[in-house]
Amino acid sequence: MNTLKKAGNWLAPPANKSEDGRDQWPSRTSFILAAMGGCAGMGNLLRYPSQVYNNHGLQWFVPYLMAVFIIAIPVLVLEIAIGQAYRGGSVIAYNNVNHRLRGLGLGLLFVAFFVGHYFVVNLAWIMDYFRNSFTSPLPWTGRGEEFYYQDVVANVDPIVGSLSEDGSSVLSYTSYPGIGLVGETVGWTAFTWFLVWLCIFKGVGLTGRVVYFTLGLPIVITIILVGRACSLENAGEGVGLVWATWRSSELARGQIWQTACGQVFFSTGVGFGYFTSYASYNQKYSNAVMDSILIVCSNVLFENFAAFAVFGVVGYLRLFPQDGVRLGSFTVGFLTLPLAVTEMPGANFWAFALFFTLMVLGFSSAFAQLDAIVTMWMDSGTKLSRPVVVTILVMISFLLSLPYCTQFGYYLLEGIDRWINDVALIFVVWAECVCSTTVYRWKDVTNQVGLLAFTIYNIGYFGGMIFGVAVAHAVSPPAGAGLGFGLYVAGAVASVTLSQTPTSGAARFWARNTYASRFWYLAFYSGNQLRRDLNLIVGTGKNWTIPSFWPLLMRYISAPILAIIFSFAYPSFYLLRYDPLHILGFTLAHVCLLVIGLGVILPRWFDVFLPPHRLNDGKVDTIPNVNQSAIDAEQKALEEGGDTTGPGKDEPIK
């Protein structure tokens, strides 16, 4: 019995404890690998090549790299830094930013939770292929589409609805005659959820070991697959589609910008909440900024390297892009690559390698998404043990995955996936950018310039985005840009004019003039103060600090770009409003927006997600331009009757 216990503790060791008693990763490497595993999944090997293919040419990298550096890295710095500094998952972390952002923290988990249900069904289809990879000849030889759609997905064709000729009304709604469960898909889905349970039920002590396998082995096999694909006949022409083609006219299409941002969100994992929960198990003073950049850049390198495997096959099969013909991620994973494998010597080995890699890569993303929900539950102060919580959530998740295992599950997946990503995910990331830089310590701002000025400024800021985007769609992009910028300028001028004169000095440059000082408080104070407070924790010693341009980038560049991208979803839905499953997905995505809004209006409704001793974390009184740590130290000293001079109180404003 003791031997079995020792073996169990070796395989599933209890987590280390940090100074505050919170579970801690076995090492910094474990955290980075787990975070990389969460974002390095099927989106890298399947979705990314399909997006590059559909926007073929070097011009793809213009919006793609802009999204990486302007949105993904800054938001990831935020998610990791607040999780690490505030020692909690996304709900606790955003409650510390402001108690009215509890709904935002829950919104991130909403996205992760509902994506996880159909993501696991994708893995179930891959497991079906994996099982058949041991059969010779491969059962999809010469019948790729028939095998995928009839044998694996096994969905009954829908009766497609339609709109009137002018698109103003719905003539008929799409109906789905097939409603039965697909037995093998159900079985593999149950098996996958069991593996998820097995990897996270003991916490980061076990997960920190699992990630060495779930990330390390797929990378090795991916290198082998790339080498094989690039050695195929005519592979060079396929690779040349990306690296030797330039079509600048493509950059004028909104589609390429929308798909680039969507791909970056999907592949890096920002907006899903698991980076914050993973970071909460870090050492408190870890190098969050370096980790964030390392995670995103390694993900970018991996998906661009892995794309060579697909484009080598594209050249081999001569599947060159044609106008109006798009390559979907499912097509890449379940049709293009499997068909190429059948024509290679040793087809069974390459099929095994391909689907094993896809399975393990996707699996690390699946348990990362559920682990974020587990962290929230455990942080709430529940009396249930972690294994019990994980078991309950896995059982609920399996039940919610069953609709995707039906004879209409593929179409349900398309409907939910599109709008969760295009509406809920983009809105959540937009809210992260604007809320963290607008409402953090907002009472400091109103204390210095007055509530009226604060309100007018933000009416101009938010109104400029909302009405500017609306007019851009209704009239023209230049008209929308002019109106949006005009509303912002009008709000800024009016607020500065009506503002009180600050009694606490602004940053060096802005302190030279009364009006400039007022504008600095309204435009920059919240984001800059969040940066300063976080840097006292994540930027200590030799750690990289969050740069001074970070809040400016988040609020005035990332947020407007995301608002524009978000607006594209509504015209797209208008053309698909005859499909009940797209209506369902669109509605579900807006439930996420409702959750965030309720958190702002009625934050007490979310008390259940927080432990009693942390309910007031986001309501602490502050002093303008004084770092939070100094206020906390002074308060503690007052309670103990000691020295009331807190550290950092005299730190200059930057």
Domains and their CATH numbers in the chain: 26-436+547-615 (1.20.1740)
pLDDT digits (tens, 9 = 90+) for 208-226: 677 777 777 788 888 888 8
Whether the predicted pLDDT of 535 surpasses 90: yes
Q: Label residues 79-93 b or e (16+ Cβ within 10 Å = b).
A: bbbbbbbbbbbbbbb
Query: pTM value?
Result: 0.91
- Residue 348: its H or E element: helix 347-379
Question: What does each C-alpha distance from 37 to 29, 111, 198, 256, 278 come to in angstroms?
Answer: 12, 18, 16, 26, 12
Whether the predicted pLDDT of 2 surpasses 80: no
User: Across residues 307-322, what is the average pLDDT?
Assistant: 78
Per-residue pLDDT at 491:
96
Per-residue pLDDT at 520:
95
Share of the chain above pLDDT 90, in %: 51
The mean of the pLDDT values for the chain is 86
Whether the predicted pLDDT of 647 surpasses 60: no
Whether the predicted pLDDT of 648 surpasses 70: no
Using CB atoms within 10 A of its CB, is residue 543 exposed (0-12), middle (13-18) or buried (19+)? middle
Q: Which of 320-324, 422-426, 521-525 has the lowest mean pLDDT?
A: 320-324
Residue 486 CB neighbours (<10 A): 14
Per-residue pLDDT at 638:
57
Per-residue pLDDT at 328:
63
Question: What does each C-alpha distance from 264 to 137, 271, 427, 530 come to in angstroms?
Answer: 38, 11, 15, 25
Of 37, 50, 128, 134, the closest CA to residue 337 belongs to: 50
Whether the predicted pLDDT of 1 surpasses 60: no
Q: What are phi and psi of 625, to 5 degrees?
A: 70, 10
Per-residue pLDDT at 89:
92
Rounded Cα distance between 227 and 221, Å, is 10
Q: Is 141 left (phi over 0), alpha (psi -120 to 50) or beta?
A: beta
Residue of 16 and 510 predicted with greater confidence: 510
**Helix, coil or strand: residue 306:** helix
Per-residue pLDDT at 650:
40
Scanning 440-579, the segments in alpha helix (DSSP H) are 442-449, 451-474, 477-498, 514-538, 550-553, 559-567, 569-574
Per-residue pLDDT at 649:
41
Per-residue pLDDT at 322:
59
Per-residue pLDDT at 42:
64
